Structures are given as C-alpha cells and as structure tokens.
Structure 1
C-alpha cells in the first residue's frame, strides 16, 4: 500500500534533514527516504565547522550564500535546542587559518583578498596575524606557526549532537522518516512515484533529491543533472584533554567535550573509504607543529569518508523543467549551510521555486562550453 505526501525528500543526511524540517514547518506533509548507514554518507565525516573564511573564490554568490548561513546559525541552533532539548554547542567566537611557512601565509592572504575583492561580494571581516599575534590569541600555538588569518564570524558545533538534533527536529515537525529506503526508480505522472529497493512505493506531489553521491544516478530520472564525484577525507580524533584550543582552526579543533579533531585531507580515491595511514601521519605532524600539546594525546578513532563535490566545488540547486515539482540540492558544506537550507531554501522550495540567491547554482553553469 503506497502513501502520498506533499513532498518526498530522497536522502536523510545533513542537507535532507535541514530541508525536510524546514518544509514541514511550512505546513506540508513530508517523507524522508533514507538509504541509511550503508550509504556513502558524507554526514558521518563532517568536521563540524560553521565557516565563512575563504569560501567563494571565483563565485561571489557562494561567498554571500555562505555568509547568510553563518549569520543565521545562532537562531538555527536556538531553534534546535527549543524543539529537541539538544544543545549543539555552537561556539562562534571566530576561527583561524594557520600557516607553517611563508608560502602558505602568502596563499592565505591571497585567498582572503581574492574572495573579498570580487564584485558583488559582501566582504567578511578578517585580520592578518603574524606568528606572535597568533600565539597571543591561542596560547597553545607552537613556534612553527609563521602567521595566519582570523575571522570573527567563524565557529564550530558538536558534530554528533548536531546530526541527532536535526533528525529529532524533523520528527518533531511531523516528518515521516523512513531509513533503509533506497529509491530504485522514480516515475512521473500526475505526481511522483518512488519505487523502493526490496519493495514498496511512496507517492508525492513533489520531490527533492538530497542523496549526495547517489544524486548522480537519480537526477537524470527527473530531467536533472548532478555531476558529482567523491573526494575522500581522513579524520583523526584524540582522547579528551583539558581545554587548550578555545577557537577552531580550519584543520584542528577541540570539541566542547575535550577531544581534538584533525582533518581536511583531500584525496581522489573513487568510492574507497579506506584510511590512508601516510596522509594521517602528515595530518598529525602538522597538527603537532601547530599545537605541540597534541603530541601527548592518544588517538582513539580514525576514519575516512567521502565528500560530495561538483566539478567546480560549489553547490548545485536546481529544479526540473521536464518534470515539474522535482528539485535537486547538493553541496559539500552541509553543516555550514544547514541554517540557510532550513530557513531560506526550504520555504522557497515549499512554494515551488528557488530563492533568487540560489539561482547562480543551477547545474547549467557546469555545461557551458569553454572558449577555445
């Protein structure tokens, strides 16, 4: 027996959870069809940064879209707490990019100037710091740091509590969440029929594809394009330690519970989620050079996961011309963009359109022939 909904969201990761809750709050009946933990779920590997600094080089719309989400995050975190009783521990007191060489420092400055110098960008506040100023602001910073950039808008959250809160919030909003429901086929005739692997069907007036890497398979079924690829990232987590890192660095952060997370590697490894011990060693070495106290901590977990990247690295938000009512949303910054997805993108999709700010992210930009 099939069910019928106003919207079916295909994919229950960070993007799908934020959109489903947002649409349900618009008074719509919403079902989330989630493949579950067997999927290549990018959400399990998020570094939990709420981050603006350096975002949007060569795409001013992304710099502004990210800034809007970062500014919406305090209200988003407060809403999750009110609806679920879960504090995601948003700490938004600023964040750092750190350099271990003069060449790295030059790159950091070039990126900050490049993002903020683009026409149409609302410049974000940032400071260029020498090594001594970094060590003054971050007392645990080591002598190998030559400098860095700092923005007061950056921050981080508790990764595990965030994902739990987002799912608890969508249930509280009345969303019908169905794990273990991989969509095998989508047909369109007076609405959408979604055939589930292993049997079963869900019907909906409209749909949103938020299935990460699986969007590449699903999108053509409804006249859309999602040319996404996997990029592997490795993460190291240490035992809990006394607080020593009060603000996050892009590649190192101490959680509110005391553990240290080290990440940000980027590998083109296909669909492999195997850890790379060589890269893990480089990551650990850099973290120790930045913060020598890390050398005394035991590693308790290491894992790898797959980011979801478009050819230019920016999100894809689109709606189908051939299958009216079908939408696509995919990005690799599900934490940072969660607030704008829930508060801006979801209400617009609920009304059958995309917000003006998201128009630049259509997939057509990726198919424009390059000049000879």
Structure 2
C-alpha cells in the first residue's frame, strides 16, 4: 500500500457525476484527486442514454424541475468549454424533445403532469400535440402514436464523448486521476479526511462522495446517509442509418454517429446488470411501434446498466454536519445534471453559498418518510 500526496479535495468516483464535480473543482482552482474504481464496478456512466431531459421531471418536487432546468441552460457553456479545452465535441443538440403517447389516457396524464409543473414554475414552456402535429415535425412517425408532449428545453449528447472530455479536461487542469482505485474507508480528522483505498491512502481537506451505488457504504464514515439502490435499465443500439430523427425522444434517439438507441426500461433486480430477452423485446417493439420504418433495421449491440436511485428517485446533495467538508453527490441523471455539477456544485464544495434548490435534496427527507413520490 502506497502513501499518496495531499490534495485540497478527494472525489470518490470517476464516472459522469464525479468527473463533472472534479472538473468544476479544478476550474475553481482546487487541487483534486479522483479515485476511480476499475471496470469491475457498476458504472452507470457506460450505459447512459445520453439525454439532457427536462420535461416532466420534478412532478411532486418542483425544486428538482428548477435544478434540472438550471443545468440545461448551462449546458451550451459546458459543451463549448470542453470543446475549447479538449478538442472533443460532445455533440450537444437541444432542439427540444418529444414524449410519445399511444392512448388517450397517456395524453391526459401527460397534460396533467406538465400543466401542474407550469403552474408551479411559471416559465415552463410545453405543447401537447395531436398525431398530425407530431407527423408535421417527425414525418416517419407511425399510426399508433396518438400524440405527444413537446418542450423546447430538451436535448441530448454523446455520453461516452462527454465522459472522455471530462477526463481529459480535468487532467489538463491538474486533476490526479487514480484509476483502478476504490475508496473503502474514510477517516475524519481534525484538519480534513484520510481516505483508505484498496491500494493507497489519500489525504485532503475536503471529500466528495460521488461513487454512485458505493455511496451507500461510504457515507456513514462521515456522518452522512445515502440510501441508494440499483435500478436496471437496458438499451438496444442499431446499425447506422441515414439521419431522420432530428429530435430526442424518451424512448428512441438517433446519435451523432447515425445509430439509433432504444431504451427507457426500469427494473428493480438488485445488482444484476445482465440483459434479458423479454425486456429487450419490449423495448424493440415500442421503438417499432413509434417508427414502423425501423422494423428491418439491424440491431448490433445491447447492454444493461444500473441507475443510482434514492428511495424517491430524486438526487441527494448533503454536506455533513458532523464532519464539515464531507459532501455526498448522488443522482440518476448524470448527463442532464452535468453542467449544474460543474458550475454550481463545485463552487458550493469550495465554500460558495449552497444553491437555492439544494436544501430540498438532503437525505434527511427520508427520516420517518411514510410516502414517497417516485421521480423519473
């Protein structure tokens, strides 16, 4: 076991959440060490669908809608900064997004959700479209689609390019990325924290827990609570096809490279990250129902990954009261919230005032909670 050098901040976790926070910390001038587990870890980042998605989020907890929107509005600045610093284009597009509805009940429920959010937030543009309206914008839509909700707030990126760009950018700013290292124990001390990894010992004045599902076991070391659990999502990817889908949708999107991604399954199956035929068949069936012209497109890849879900599905952001300087950052929307993590969470970690939305996301909300509204 090796003795590592001291940093201002240790970030446990090198996925999208941890890398975004680390990059933001480096922009604030901090000396940062990131501990990134090996590829045997359950990485939500590698299975991400790539949406920068706002519509419908925060129903039942409007601060989450404001938090997500604040990130989406900052996304162009993040994409431009990464391009300038790394030369990597993360393929951000924000033309707005569609949520397809296949029944009258789905349309009514969608209208209820979005109208409630608009009433609570005010500045929350959306449209409810009938089939003709949808077809005018997406001519390839199938007859099973009765309508859709559309908001101009939504978009998508290439999530693998995003993770690569964050790693390159943060290291260019001096962040030390320790690959193949897992934080196993944290020891609070009078002047900071000692993080014990499987290969070394690391010291810093502050520590950020961004280890996804690993936060559940790390948080109690610093007087925090991160009651997260896995939620499996499965994804299908097609061969490349000529560009036709110029908007992201909740279930189908065309990537910047031409392939199509199909997804949006949700399963509580513990730490099982295997694909299953029946779920993938349902995903494919739903995609072809929306776009019948895809029925003969070849599927070339499939995967499953585990989302990081709190009991109500909303993020957890906390600084420890018992051990100030220790933070937990946990969410299941690492792409959507990446800009907020860079530009709003990182300054907070370094001593700026807590963003206005964040008190809502304390894990204290789970104390004696009798009923939770599940986010998506």
- The two structures have a TM-score, normalised by structure 1, of 0.97
Structure 2 match to 1:63: 65
Distance in 1 separating the partners of 2:338 and 2:33 = 19
Aligned: 1:129 with 2:156 = no
**1:192 aligned residue:** 193
Give the match for residue 157 of structure 1: 157
Residue 302 of structure 1 corresponds to 302
SS of the residue 2:295 aligns to: helix
- After the TM superposition, which residues 1-372 of structure 1 pair with which residues of structure 2 at under 5 Å, given as runs? 1-118=3-120, 121-189=121-189, 190-197=191-198, 199-351=199-351, 354-370=354-370
Q: 3-state SS of the aligned residue for 1:117? A: helix
RMSD: 1.2
> Structure 1 residues 353, 325: CA separation in 2 closer, same or farther (over 3 Å shift)?
farther
Q: Is the 8 A contact 1:64 1:122 kept in 2?
A: no
Q: Distance in 2 between matches of 1:125 and 1:36?
A: 42
Q: Which SS does the other structure have where 2:357 is aligned?
A: helix
C-alpha distance in 2 between matches for 1:29 and 1:86: 23
Deviations 1:114-138 (A, max 9, x none): 22233xx243211000011101110
CA contact under 8 A between 1:98 and 1:145: conserved in structure 2? yes
CA contact (8 A) 2:45 2:159 kept: no
Deviation at 1:369, TM superposition (A): 4.4
1:335-362 CA-to-partner distances (Å, cap 9, x unmatched) read 0000011011111111265323212111
How far apart in 1 are the matches of 2:215 and 2:316? Answer: 11
Q: Which whole-Å CA distance do the structure 2 matches of 1:2 and 1:138 have between them?
A: 55
**Mapped contact 2:188–2:323 kept (Cα < 8 A):** yes
Q: Would you say the 8 A contact 1:70–1:337 is kept in 2?
A: yes
- Alpha carbons of 1:370 and 1:267: their partners in 2 closer, same or farther (altered >3 Å)? closer
**Deviation at residue 32 of structure 1 after TM alignment:** 0.2
Separation in structure 2 between the aligned mates of residue 157 and residue 191 of structure 1, nearest angstrom = 37
Q: Distance in 1 between matches of 2:369 and 2:291?
A: 46
| Alignment gaps of 5+ in structure 1 | none
Looking at structure 1, the residues matched to 196 and 353 of structure 2 have their Cα atoms a distance apart, in angstroms, of 25
Instruction: Tell me if the contact between 1:325 and 1:352 (Cα under 8 Å) persists in the aligned partners.
Output: no
Per-residue CA deviation, residues 68-127 of structure 1 (Å, 9 max, x unaligned), is 101111111101101100011111111100011222222211221222233xx2432110
Aligned partners of 1:21 and 1:325: how far apart in 2?
18
How many Å separate the matches in 1 of 2:149 and 2:205? 47
Deviation at 1:275, TM superposition (A): 0.7
Measured in 2, the distance between the counterparts of 1:98 and 1:123 equals 23
Corresponding residue SS for 2:153? coil
Alpha-carbon distance in 2 for matches of 1:281, 1:353:
48
Residue pair 2:325, 2:349 contacting (<8 A) in 1 also: no
Q: Distance in 2 between matches of 1:242 and 1:369?
A: 50
Task: Give the deviation of 1:228 after TM superposition.
Answer: 0.4
Q: After TM superposition, which residue ranges in structure 1, 4 or more long, deviate above 4 angstroms?
A: none
Q: How many residues matched?
A: 368
Q: 1:9–1:16: 8 Å Cα contact kept in structure 2?
A: yes
TM-score (norm 2): 0.96
- Aligned equivalents of 2:10, 2:354: Cα separation in 1: 17
Structure 2 unpaired stretches of 5+: 372-376
Query: Matched residue of 1:312: which SS?
Result: coil
- In 2, Cα distance between the equivalents of 1:160 and 1:22? 19
Distance in 2, Cα, partners of 1:325 & 1:348: 10
Q: Deviations over 1:245-278 (max 9, x none)?
A: 1111111000111000001100010000011210
Shift in alpha-carbon separation, 1:333–1:269, aligned structure 2, 3 A: same
**For residues 171-219 of structure 1, what are the alpha-carbon distances to aligned partners after superposition, in whole Å with 9 as ceiling and x for unaligned?**
111100011111111111131111111x311111110000000000000
Q: What SS is found at the alignment partner of 2:75?
A: helix
